[in-house]
Amino acid sequence: VSQTIYFDNAATTFPKPEIVYETMDKVYRSIGVNAGRSSYRIAREANEIINETRTNLAKLVNFKTPNRIVFAPSATIAMNQIINGLKWDDRKTVYVTPFEHNAIMRPLHYIQKKHHIDIEIIQFDEKSFEIDMENLKINFSQKRPDYIFLSHVSNVTGYILPVELIAEVAKKYNAVIILDCAQSMGLLPIDTEKLDVDYLVFAGHKTLYGPFGIAGFIDKSDFKLSYFLAGGTGSDSLNLDMPDYYPTIYEVASPNIQAIAGLNAAIKWIDETGIDNIRIREEELTLRLTEGLSGIYGAKLYLPKKETDRTGIISCTFDDADSNEVGKLLDEYSIAVRTGYHCAPNIHNFLSTTAKGGTVRFSLSYFNTVEEIEYLINCLTDLDL
Ligand code: PMP
């Protein structure tokens, strides 16, 4: 079987660091039991791994209260817990950006149908992706924001949004801010002490280099979410309400010990490799890819204007080919890319890529190589689209 050249790391980073596979196998074989439900030794050990993972993740983002890190099976589920846990009776104004994922837009749409909320889209410049802060200030003053949902990094364009700036203005109105860090945590340095947002949602299987099945949110907020999911926690079982303490109030069902152990190993790997080294490597690869793609006749790249606002996710369209067609052709060269709308419903209007069937998205990780990028560029040249 020929090897796949993988450029779909925004969907999930692949492969994982070797230590992630090793740890998951070892933990599942030795202490793959139901943590937090029993007092025998290996159940306690499994519990310790969960606590250690919370502590290590907290360290990674300079967060002082690890028990306010809530684990969930996926970023989408974590986002649903937040959205459905917010108050909607008297707080009706929501701002989102054109970059938001359906993990946000679909649950918000669901809330909209029930509570008649207003969803406003913050304006960004279509060419540079820059935000007009003065305009935003006016918008906020005319229509006060209750909740703001922001992608930290766009899963379509790799754009790093100016979240600090937006948060600063929004906090003047006491808005609750939800930051989607699915494409940023583990890749960009995040300092939760400095970043004035309420909830940070993370996905273990993306830039954190962990496995599927573990994600969650960091709760920095004074706002208390209602719990959306209810069920077994292994504690206070005669009480039909969820236990009223963190993180248990939001953590239902048997914890995925294998995935959590994998995430723990991945965070340690990030720490040992150095978050800056991972970013530098990805930047070098991104530059090569950007240069290569820019040289392909008929390719149009959707890049943030400033190089420092970019990560290793690049979307493009081709003059004479539909995006899905390009994906199929590249597959014949064993190159894996993602094509289409990438679960981001607002951005294709913004980029005018709807008629093209969305974009062809190339996304990198620490484990891609310059040779792979050269092979891709040669194939695209060969294809003569
Ligand atoms: N937000 C963003 C920005 C994403 O890219 C993704 C995954 N594509 C998600 C949320 C949802 O992650 P998951 O599918 O793992 O729940």
Task: Give, for ligand 1, the residue of 71, 74, 76 to mutate: max count of ligand atoms closer than 8 Å to Cβ.
Answer: 76
Mean pLDDT of 121-143: 96
**Ligand 1 site, CB within 6 A:** 74-76, 101, 103, 151, 155, 180, 182-183, 203, 343
How much distance in Å is there from the Cα of 224 to the middle of ligand 1?
24
* pLDDT for 37: 82
User: Mean pLDDT, the chain, as a whole number?
Assistant: 97
Ligand 1: nearest atom to the Cα of 11: 8
Q: What is the residue whose two structure tokens read 């250690």?
A: 52
How many whole angstroms separate alpha carbon 384 and alpha carbon 366? 29
353-383 pLDDT per residue, tens: 999 999 999 999 999 999 999 999 999 999 9
pLDDT band at 1 (very low <50, low <70, confident <90, very high): very low
How much distance in Å is there from the Cα of 225 to the middle of ligand 1?
21
- Tell me the CB-side half-sphere exposure of residue 186, using CA atoms within 13 A: 27
* pLDDT for 36: 83
Amino acid at 132: D
* pLDDT for 282: 98
Q: Could you tell me the strand order of the sheet in which 215-219 lies?
A: 69-72, 215-219, 199-203, 176-180, 147-151, 93-96, 118-121
Ligand 1: nearest atom to the Cα of 342: 8
Whole-structure pTM value:
0.98
How much distance in Å is there from the Cα of 103 to the middle of ligand 1?
6
Q: 346, 337, 324: which is closest to 379 by C-alpha?
A: 337
Nearest CA to ligand 1 atom 14: 76
How much distance in Å is there from the Cα of 203 to the middle of ligand 1?
7
Ligand 1: nearest atom to the Cα of 76: 16
How many whole angstroms separate alpha carbon 208 and alpha carbon 306? 24
Nearest CA to ligand 1 atom 12: 75
73-87 pLDDT per residue, tens: 999 999 999 999 999
Cα angle: 95, vertex 359, 131; to 5 degrees? 35
Ligand 1: nearest atom to the Cα of 153: 3
How many whole angstroms separate alpha carbon 315 and alpha carbon 158? 8
Q: 334, 189, 153: which is closest to 270 by C-alpha?
A: 189
Task: Give, for ligand 1, the residue of 14, 106, 155 to mutate: max count of ligand atoms closer than 8 Å to Cβ.
Answer: 155
* pLDDT for 2: 60
Mean pLDDT of 323-347: 96
* pLDDT for 323: 95
Phi, psi torsion values for 273, nearest 5 degrees? -70, -30
Name the maximum alpha-carbon separation found in the chain.
67
Mean pLDDT of 23-31: 98
Amino acid at 135: N
260-293 pLDDT per residue, tens: 999 999 999 999 999 999 999 999 999 999 999 9
How much distance in Å is there from the Cα of 58 to the middle of ligand 1?
21
pLDDT band at 39 (very low <50, low <70, confident <90, very high): confident
How much distance in Å is there from the Cα of 131 to the middle of ligand 1?
23
* pLDDT for 157: 97
- Tell me the CB-side half-sphere exposure of residue 251, using CA atoms within 13 A: 25
126 neighbors 351 (Cβ within 8 angstroms): yes
How much distance in Å is there from the Cα of 182 to the middle of ligand 1?
6
152-210 pLDDT per residue, tens: 999 999 999 999 999 999 999 999 999 999 999 999 999 999 999 999 999 999 999 99
End-to-end CA, the chain: 27
pLDDT band at 384 (very low <50, low <70, confident <90, very high): confident
b or e along 180-214 (b: 16 or more beta carbons within 10 Å of the residue's beta carbon)? Answer: bbbbbbbbbebebeebebbbbbbbbbbbbbbbebb
53-79 pLDDT per residue, tens: 999 999 999 999 999 999 999 999 999
How much distance in Å is there from the Cα of 223 to the middle of ligand 1?
24
